[in-house]
Structure 1
Amino acid sequence: MNEPSTRDAIIEAGRHLFGERGYSAVTIKDVATRAGYSPAMVMKVMGSKAKLYAAAAPDLPTSEFPHGMDEPIGFTLIRRILARRQADESEPWAMVPLLVQDSPEPAAARRDLRQRYVSWIAGQIHDTSPDRQKSQLVVCAVMGLAAGVRTLGLLGPEEIAEEQLVQQYGALVQGIID
């Protein structure tokens, strides 16, 4: 397996920290420490904290649906959130509200992230309606679970079995889709 580039390592460290703490609470030194580089290297590679923040915006969760998926989309979305929690990976769905709220340009971040996430879900669930209301509801439901389990630590494995949570919450999301 190849080592990530310096830029990729810095962006991933920023993504993780911004997702946990938000823009204001993260310093360049925090990102440098997590990435294993000096603060000077982070600044050289990224240029500024705002540019790092923009680069760390979560990618669309394209890995949500593995090829040959054998369960409904709503369940798979929930399963992937729980898998990322288990692996301590950054959670793009939980990061969205923080990225908007703490963005140097919140209105622009809101427009961009709203368009990206709603359009992506619409494509996955074949929502071609003009208002994409169904897609908006799915985005809200998935973001809510992601924030609850990652930010507040709700519904941990000691409180509910993972498969039970997938079945219960997945059914809610799938109900919106259907």
Structure 2
Amino acid sequence: MARTGRRPGQTETREDILAAARNQFGERGYDGATIRGIAAEAGVNPALVHHFFGSKEQVFAAALDLPIDPAAVLAVVLDGPRDSVGERILRLFISLWREPATRTPFLALVRSVSTNAQAAAMMRQFIERVMLARVADALGVPKLRLTALISHVMGIAMMRYIVGVEPIASAGEDELVALVAPVLQQYID
């Protein structure tokens, strides 16, 4: 059983929890990993995991070094009129890929999930169970449509920010939104 209270001396508790989380998510997947299991492997009380990271989603985001808070993404997507969901999603994605502070971790994540089956499985479970399921339920949209929407947005990110294909790479953000947001909205409608 994990000890309670603060560890004596210099502590790397946060890093120990992250290492345990990466291992637990890697071995058990998103669904199988638990806060209790992560805490046990790190040798800490589950309350300490919650103290450092909050929810299981937040532990996952930190373990994979996601540059976003999943709850904040869901709030952006779901807060506002239904007829502008496509535009909100596209503007959010563009803003995340535009900024080097978030683009760099996204690039690393894309590389990880495209070359490592374990990372891909973890990310797939997270997207399916946490992001897609919640948005689909909240909007009453089939998951297939949302998956197509995400694929569309990821394709734009790939062409614009990774491969740099013109003219999409240098198109103005408002021009891109005017062109693509109505198409994304079709997936929702």
Scaled by the length of structure 2, what TM-score is found?
A: 0.52
Q: Hey, which bits of structure 1, 4+ residues long, moved more than 4 A? A: 42-46, 66-71, 91-97
Match of 2:91 among 57, 63, 79: 79
Relative to 1, partners in 2 of residues 1:89 and 1:126: Cα closer, same or farther, differing over 3 Å? Answer: farther
1:90 corresponding residue in structure 2 = 102
Q: 2:113 matched to 1:105?
A: no
Once the two structures are superposed, what CA deviation does each residue of 1:17-71 show, in whole Å capped at 9, x if it has no partner? Answer: xxxxxxxxxxxxxxxxxxxxxxx9x9667448x55x9612534323533844596
Which is greater in Rg? 2
Paired residue secondary structure (2:102): coil
Conserved 8 A contact 1:94-1:146: no
Letter in 2 for 1:84: L
2:152 corresponding residue in structure 1 = 141
Conserved 8 A contact 2:83-2:185: no
Paired residue secondary structure (1:118): helix
RMSD: 3.8
Relative to 1, partners in 2 of residues 1:164 and 1:107: Cα closer, same or farther, differing over 3 Å? Answer: closer
Relative to 1, partners in 2 of residues 1:104 and 1:86: Cα closer, same or farther, differing over 3 Å? Answer: closer
Identity of aligned pairs, percent?
Answer: 17
Match of 1:65 among 64, 77, 99: 77
Conserved 8 A contact 2:84-2:185: yes
Report how many aligned residue pairs link the two structures. Answer: 134
**Which range moved further: 85-94 or 134-143?**
85-94
TM-superposed CA distance for 1:175, in Å, is: 1.5
Q: 2:124 matched to 1:151?
A: no
- Unaligned stretches of 5+ residues in structure 2: 1-11, 27-59
- Unaligned stretches of 5+ residues in structure 1: 1-39
Relative to 1, partners in 2 of residues 1:118 and 1:57: Cα closer, same or farther, differing over 3 Å? Answer: farther
Conserved 8 A contact 1:137-1:176: yes
